[in-house]
Copies of this chain bind each other. A is one copy, B any other.
Amino acid sequence: MRPARARSMSGSTLPRERGTPVIKAVAASDERDRQQRRNAKTLIEYAYKRLKTNIIRGHLAPGSKLRIERLRTEYGVASSTLREALSLLVADSLVTAEGQQGFRVVPMSIEDFREICSLRKMMETLALRESIANGDEDWEAGVVAAFHKLNLLDFRRLNSSEALVDAYNERNHAFHEALVAACRSSWVRRFRSVLYDNARRYRHLSVAKGGIRPNIQSEHRAIMEAALARDVELACRLSEEHIDLTLHRLAQFPAAEIAAGFPGLPRRGAAAAAARLRAREAVRS
């Protein structure tokens, strides 16, 4: 075998050779950013993941313009690197690119979320059907393990700490992923994944406004038990209800607040600028 692959990015372990706005950017970024950077194979992947996270969290406001120069500086990468990361995000339907007009965060609206939920119910049940049909012992073990890790979190304290909410989101994602892990249809998986990421934006908003549903774990448990019992119809019905609940929850908020992202939260840096911008740009559509 080859020797362990050296880290791709000189910035993390070795002193940089060329221009070094990176230092400042790294200093300003938090621990998660640094870790993302270490884990990424390429700078493009790093920028891609960081952008994706920030869009899902609403730190980059829906509908706002993604200015290359600003982000490039903040992330400490070259413009073409950032550009490619943004192009990759188009595949996730989180960003749009229009020639000579740059990139934009895909807007949010309750109608959009309604459609996402509708299609998500189709894709999620398709994937679940196939997964339950194909799932072997390893699949079962994976589901149980993911549920257990999710269940370990202290749901009573959940809304008090941002780190806990992050952990919840991560493990929630892992659990739902484990459920459909045995689905082999690549197209179903792809569409499901895109829809899931997009739904995350709305869920994040919903959690920020109203917290996590108190008895969400009982829903998860019911889905898991139905899946393990190979009760396809029940598992699918429960999954659909699970999705519908997030929709109904969000539908209670005023439409304007949904389109705006996180108006109540404090903003810093690019997010603040994006917010200011959004106000102006809302008019132009």
Contacts from A to B (Cβ < 8 Å): 8, 40-42, 44-45, 80, 83-84, 87-88, 90-91, 93, 97, 99-100, 112, 115-116, 119, 122, 185-188, 190-191, 195
Copies in the complex: 2
Contacts of A80 in B (CB 8 A): 80, 83-84
Once the chains bind, are B186 and A115 in contact (CB under 8 Å)? Answer: yes
Once the chains bind, are B42 and A99 in contact (CB under 8 Å)? Answer: yes
**Interface contacts beyond A40-B99, A80-B83: sample of 12 additional A-B pairs, CB < 8 Å, sorted by A:** A41-B99, A42-B99, A80-B80, A87-B91, A88-B97, A93-B190, A112-B187, A115-B185, A115-B187, A119-B188, A187-B195, A191-B191
Once the chains bind, are B112 and A186 in contact (CB under 8 Å)? Answer: yes
Once the chains bind, are A191 and B119 in contact (CB under 8 Å)? Answer: yes
Chain B nearest CB from A37 CB (Å) reads 13
Contacts of A91 in B (CB 8 A): 87, 90-91, 93
Once the chains bind, are B41 and A8 in contact (CB under 8 Å)? Answer: no
CA distance A84 to B99 in the complex (A): 12
CA distance A188 to B122 in the complex (A): 12
Contacts of A90 in B (CB 8 A): 87-88, 90-91
CA distance A284 to B24 in the complex (A): 42
* Contact flag A41-B88 (CB < 8 Å), given A115-B185, A187-B116: no
Contacts of A93 in B (CB 8 A): 91, 190
Other-chain contact of A187, B44, B100, B119, B187 (Cβ < 8 Å) = B119
Task: List the B residue with the shortest CB-CB distance to A88.
Answer: B87
Sample 11 A-B pairs with CB under 8 A, ordered by A number.
A84-B87, A87-B91, A90-B91, A91-B91, A93-B190, A112-B187, A116-B187, A119-B187, A119-B188, A119-B191, A191-B191
CA distance A122 to B80 in the complex (A): 38
Task: List the B residue with the shortest CB-CB distance to A99.
Answer: B41
Closest 3 CB pairs of A and B: A87-B87, A41-B99, A91-B91
Task: List the B residue with the shortest CB-CB distance to A78.
Answer: B80
Task: List the B residue with the shortest CB-CB distance to A80.
Answer: B80
Contacts of A87 in B (CB 8 A): 84, 87-88, 90-91
* Contact flag A8-B100 (CB < 8 Å), given A116-B187, A186-B112, A188-B119: yes
Contacts of A122 in B (CB 8 A): 122
Other-chain contact of A83, B84, B185, B191 (Cβ < 8 Å) = B84
